[in-house]
Amino acid sequence: MSEFDSDSEPSQFPATRCADCGALYGHEAFVCRECSSEEFEDAPLDGSGTVYARTTIRVPGSDQQGEEPFEVAVVDVGGAESVRVTARIEDNPEVGPEDPVEFVERRDGVFYFEAV
């Protein structure tokens, strides 16, 4: 399990920040897109988010067979300083654009949010 997969407080989203230029990432980064640095630090964000877009996956890839159908959304998370990430939405297939969601966990490299 990488440091990025580690448990964080339920209300915090595990973002990373470039240690050299301060660029913020909602995923594990290895090379900064802004300055090419390879130095990063943890930058937890508020786990509250807003759905930007969503869809239902009915025919998943081979590694997700048996989990269908499930909801996937693009979520803006973090408040004033935010990142946009792709995530699974748990327990509410009716969530839509501009609906509030809360970060739950990162499991097997996938971010999970739930409707608020």
Per the prediction, the chain carries an average pLDDT of 88
Cα dihedral across residues 93, 98, 102, 104: positive or negative? positive
Q: Which residues face 56 on adjacent strands?
A: 71
pLDDT of residue 92: 72
Token duo for residue 28: 């594990």
pLDDT of residue 3: 43
60 against 99, higher pLDDT: 99
Longest dimension (CA), the chain: 43
pLDDT tens across 48-95, in order?
Answer: 999 999 999 998 888 888 888 889 999 999 988 999 999 999 887 788
Q: Which residues face 25 on adjacent strands?
A: 16
pLDDT of residue 28: 87
Distance from C-alpha of 15 to C-alpha of 28, rounded to nearest angstrom: 8
Q: How confident is the model at residue 6 (pLDDT cuts 50, 70, 90)?
A: very low
Q: Which amino acid is at 84?
A: R
- Strand, helix or coil at 71? strand
Nearest CA among 35, 70, 73, 79 for reference residue 54: 73
Distance from C-alpha of 109 to C-alpha of 116, rounded to nearest angstrom: 22
Helices (H), 1-116: none
